[in-house]
Amino acid sequence: MTPARSFGLPRARRSAGLLALLLAGTYAFDAWQTLSFGRWHKPGAAIFPIAVAALMALSAISVLLERHGGAADPMPATFTLPDGADLRRLLSVLAAFAIYFVAMPVLGNMIASALFLLASMWLLSDDPNRSIVRLAIYAVVIAVVFEVFFVRLLKVQMPAGVFKQWLF
Amino acid sequence: MNSLQGLLYGLSIAATPGNLLAAFAGAFAGTAIGVLPGLGPVAGVALILPLTFSLDPTAGLIMMAGIFYGSMYGGSTTAILLNIPGESASVVTAIDGYQLAKKGRAGATLTIVAVGSFVGGTLAVIGVMMFSSLLAKVAILFGPAEFFALTAGGLIVMSRISGGTLASALLPMTLGLMLGTIGQEAVTGETRFTFGLPELAEGVSLVPVVVGLYGFAELMLLVEDRIHAANRPESVAMRDLLPTRTEWKRAVPSWLRGTFLGFLFGLVPGPAATLASFASYRLEKATSKHGSEIGSGAIEGVAGPEAANNSAATASLVPLLALGIPFTPIAALMISAMLVQGIQPGPLLITQHPEIFWGLIASAYIGNVMLLALNIPMVGVWVSLLRIPHYLFIPLLLVLSVIGTYSVRNSIFDVWVLLAAGVVGYAFNKMKFQLAPLVVGLILGPNIEKHFREALFLSQGDPWIYVESPIAVTVWLLVALILIAGFIARRRAAFAGAMAQESSL
């Protein structure tokens, strides 16, 4: 059984509506302050953003005023988010993904990819007897194949990192 | 250039070794994506999308189309063998397909599905050729006011037909429009909403947003809902792939009905492939001689819907190529691929880039033949893909998404945008907001603004320009008609639901 926590969908949507309303206000304020309105025959750069802000405010209000419940409501009353070990795994994979971007310019694409692959395979594998050596071999093989195919063959520009002169 | 000349020209382009290889690679990757458990075609296409940018525009788009058709083919394999539809259009296929597999007819059903998809896709291409060249003739009459009607009208229609409530589509769509205003605007070159970040001066790139919303968010859901003990499908022997004479005979009328129905659905805005497969299933139940068997393992129950969903998917190329308006998430992905390659899809595509338009159409024929050859003899290979554990393919696809996103502008900032878009996509999925309107808003927003302002420049500020030309008026009337028809259909459905509830009490 996968651990999960239930949350009320109407409440979550109303929170999203409030955030959207705040965003609409900030966005309109910035457009009003920094952009030109122009004239009817020469409309400026502020016109469209102000219209979009008005539309965002309208859509936010329509989310806030939604009526939930009853047989006609097409939406479920709740939604689930992972909990316990599943939540830890999801957040760990996200953290590993973010560290991967930070490390990429320094270590280069191939090394950073291999390390990320190893970390995420380890985190996602269910097998309690998983072998780090086997996962490391998978990670290195995939990273090298990607490097050869994309960077060498298709000439995709990726960060080479500080170890550039020692690789290939 | 008439349709036949266009097709011959397209074949001469599509049949070059490079483009044939692109079609093959696309069909192969697409089928693999369709088969991979838990990964829908939209997510799969989004993840592969940036890799097409390293090719020339025609080859890149041919590859994209191959991925698109391939994922539709591949999605049915899991539906039949495991009762797990690879994508929403295969939900119907799973009903009778899985029953047939349990009766020991899995191989024959896979063949009927592959041939049905080929028939649906190939016949629909003929319709796409005719409709698109017809629309292209009107294209030369388009000015800013007509383009404004087309793009703004398309956006309005999209907000009402993408499924869910109005608010569920409107909020993400407006967010897409907002993202589209970031960076240098197209009319006067003024920079907006960059907050001092030089990376934002060029605007928010479409690719990380699309890959994040669809690909990354889908992978997060997979990480969350790991299939702890995936079902292992039975292997299918080559000799079991041949349907009986009766099965062929029963499938042919269903293919033709499904193809026709699917094509009609593909032309109108909405989730065409899914709707077409459901409508075809009902049509087969109503018209087939073996209608009563449908639901318990009848070949018509897979033949009709599969031809219909492939025909609809192909026909949805008409609004995509001829109008430049994406009505489905995959169409939005194809438009993003065109925009990154510097091609503006829309009424002028056929005259400005005939090699792309006709090359893509012709490649659909070639792609369908390749898919037939790939799917039937190699079914064992595809089945074995189902055995790849999640802990291997999720990290692999995450790395692929980073390489693809980074490579577009050589920007780490874009990779952060990918992560942010992924988190937003995950949250929107959970909160039942639609994702497609966000992408469509981001694609169409800058065009709407450009045409809106250019029209006012041209008319010296006279707002009547938007409704002066017959084309603009026709487009707005069509938009009104679609909205009214949708409103009536929803009211009738609600009324029927209320009546059914009342009678059950």
Q: How confident is the model at residue A29 (pLDDT cuts 50, 70, 90)?
A: very high
Q: Which residues of B159-176 are buried (b: 16+ CB within 10 A; e: fewer)?
A: bbbbeebebbbbbbbbbb
Q: How many other C-beta atoms can be found within 10 angstroms of the C-beta atom of residue A1?
A: 4
Instruction: Test A59 with B394 for CB contact under 8 angstroms.
Output: no
Residue of higher predicted confidence among B212 and B135: B212
Q: Assess whether A73 and A91 both reside in one domain.
A: no
Can you tell me the mean pLDDT for B319-343? 77
A window 93-152, beta carbon within 8 A of B: 93-94, 97-98, 100-101, 104-105, 109, 113, 116-117, 120-121, 124-126, 138-139, 142-143, 146, 150
Q: Assess whether A21 and A71 both reside in one domain.
A: yes
Q: Nearest Cα to A138, choosing from A120, A154, A150?
A: A120
Q: Give the DSSP letter string of B188-232.
A: T--EES-TT-GGGTT---HHHHHIIIIIIHHHHHHHHT--TTPPP
Instruction: Test B457 with A34 for CB contact under 8 angstroms.
Output: no
Chain A residue nearest residue B168, CA to CA: A63
- pLDDT at res. B161: 61
Q: Choose from A48, A64, A67, A83 for mutation: most chain B CBs within 10 A.
A: A48
**Using alpha carbons only, what angle is made at residue A59 by residues A57 and A65, rounded to the nearest 5 degrees?**
100
- pLDDT at res. B232: 57
Q: State how far residue B422 is from chain A, nearest Cα, in angstroms.
A: 10
Q: What is d(CA B330, CA B333) in angstroms, rounded to the nearest whole number?
A: 5
Q: Give the DSSP letter string of B399-416.
A: HHHHHHHHHHHT-HHHHH
The percent of residues in chain B predicted with pLDDT above 90, rounded, is 12
SS3 of residue B271 by DSSP: coil
Can you tell me the mean pLDDT for B424-444? 88
Q: Is the pLDDT of residue B227 over 60?
A: no
Q: What is d(CA B128, CA B124) in angstroms, rounded to the nearest whole number?
A: 6
Q: Percentages helix, strand, coil for chain A, rounded to the nearest 5?
A: 65, 10, 25
Q: Is the pLDDT of residue A71 over 70?
A: no
Q: Is the pLDDT of residue B346 over 60?
A: yes
- pLDDT at res. B39: 64
* Angle, helices A47-64/B166-180, rounded to nearest 10 degrees: 150
Tokens read off for A28 = 């309109």
* CA distance to A5, A123, B341, B391, B394, per residue, from A118 (Å): 29, 9, 34, 10, 12
Q: Assess whether A73 and A12 both reside in one domain.
A: yes
Q: What is d(CA B287, CA B266) in angstroms, rounded to the nearest whole number?
A: 22
Q: How confident is the model at residue B269 (pLDDT cuts 50, 70, 90)?
A: low
Tell me which of A32, A56, A82 is where a domain ends: A82
Q: Which residue has the tokens 């009353």?
A: A77
- pLDDT at res. B26: 87
Q: Which domain holds residue A28?
A: 4-82
- pLDDT at res. B341: 79
Q: Which residues of A132-144 are buried (b: 16+ CB within 10 A; e: fewer)?
A: eeebbebbbebbe
Tell me which residue in A27, A34, A41 faces B456 most closely, judged by beta carbons: A41
Element housing B234 (H / E): none
Q: State how far residue B266 is from chain A, nearest Cα, in angstroms.
A: 25
- pLDDT at res. A56: 96
Taking a C-beta distance cutoff of 8 angstroms, is the pair B67, B337 a contact?
no
Q: Which residues in chain B are contacts of A98 at CB distance < 8 A?
A: 419
What contacts B264, CB < 8 A, 6 or more positions away?
B315
Taking a C-beta distance cutoff of 8 angstroms, is the pair A143, B396 a contact?
no
Can you tell me the mean pLDDT for B98-120? 86
* CA distance to A8, A62, B165, B269, per residue, from A75 (Å): 11, 15, 9, 23
What contacts B185, CB < 8 A, 6 or more positions away?
A45, B191, B192, B446, B449
Q: Is the pLDDT of residue B230 over 60?
A: no
Q: State how far residue A168 is from chain B, nearest Cα, in angstroms.
A: 19
SS3 of residue A82 by DSSP: strand
The number of distinct structural domains making up chain A is 2
Cα A28 versus chain centre, distance: 25
Q: Is the pLDDT of residue B62 over 90?
A: no
- pLDDT at res. B254: 93
The verdict on A35 touching B (C-beta cutoff 8 Å) is yes
- pLDDT at res. B228: 44
The verdict on A1 touching B (C-beta cutoff 8 Å) is no
Tell me which of A82, A116, A144 is where a domain ends: A82
Q: How confident is the model at residue B501 (pLDDT cuts 50, 70, 90)?
A: low
Can you tell me the mean pLDDT for B140-154? 84
Q: Is the pLDDT of residue B327 over 80?
A: no
Chain A residue nearest residue B173, CA to CA: A56
Q: State how far residue B437 is from chain A, nearest Cα, in angstroms.
A: 13
Q: Which residues in chain A are contacts of B445 at CB distance < 8 A?
A: 52
Q: What is d(CA B485, CA B482) in angstroms, rounded to the nearest whole number?
A: 5
β partners of residue A81: A5
DSSP B244: P
Taking a C-beta distance cutoff of 8 angstroms, is the pair B426, B164 a contact?
no
Chain B residue nearest residue A84, CA to CA: B224
Element housing A39 (H / E): strand A38-39
Tell me which of A82, A97, A122 is where a domain ends: A82
Chain A residue nearest residue B400, CA to CA: A146
Average pLDDT, chain A: 87
Q: Which of A90-99, B56-65, B323-332 has the lowest mean pLDDT?
A: B323-332
DSSP B181: T
Q: Assess whether A26 and A78 both reside in one domain.
A: yes
Taking a C-beta distance cutoff of 8 angstroms, is the pair B77, B241 a contact?
no
Which of B149-158, B167-176, B236-245 holds the top average pLDDT? Answer: B167-176
Instruction: Test A35 with B224 for CB contact under 8 angstroms.
Output: no
Burial of B483 (0-12, 13-18, 19+ CB in 10 A): middle
Q: How confident is the model at residue A59 (pLDDT cuts 50, 70, 90)?
A: very high
Can you tell me the mean pLDDT for B179-200? 87
Q: State how far residue A165 is from chain B, nearest Cα, in angstroms.
A: 20
Q: Is the pLDDT of residue B73 over 80?
A: no
Tokens read off for B285 = 């139940």
Average pLDDT, chain B: 82
Q: Which residues in chain B are contacts of A58 at CB distance < 8 A?
A: 170
Q: Assess whether A69 and A14 both reside in one domain.
A: yes
Can you tell me the mean pLDDT for B446-450? 88
Can you tell me the mean pLDDT for A21-28? 96
Q: Is the pLDDT of residue B276 over 90?
A: no
Residue of higher predicted confidence among B302 and A126: B302
Tell me which residue in B171, B396, B406 faces A20 most closely, judged by beta carbons: B171
Query: Per-residue pLDDT tens for B78-89?
Result: 778 877 666 667
The verdict on A66 touching B (C-beta cutoff 8 Å) is yes
Amino acid at B433: F
Q: What is d(CA B312, CA B437) in angstroms, rounded to the nearest whole number?
A: 20
Q: Which residues in chain B are contacts of A94 at CB distance < 8 A?
A: 220, 419
Residues in chain A: 168
Q: Give the DSSP letter string of B461-488.
A: T-GGGGGTSHHHHHHHHHHHHHHHHHHH
Q: Is the pLDDT of residue B201 over 70?
A: yes
The percent of residues in chain B predicted with pLDDT above 70, rounded, is 90
Q: Nearest Cα to B328, choosing from B315, B339, B338, B340?
A: B315
Q: State how far residue B282 is from chain A, nearest Cα, in angstroms.
A: 23
Query: Per-residue pLDDT tens for A33-45?
Result: 999 888 877 888 8
Q: Assess whether A124 and A162 both reside in one domain.
A: yes
Q: Is the pLDDT of residue A143 over 90?
A: yes
ipTM comes to 0.91
Q: Which of B10-14, B161-165, B334-338 has the lowest mean pLDDT?
A: B161-165
β partners of residue A79: A7
Q: How confident is the model at residue B229 (pLDDT cuts 50, 70, 90)?
A: very low
- pLDDT at res. B421: 94
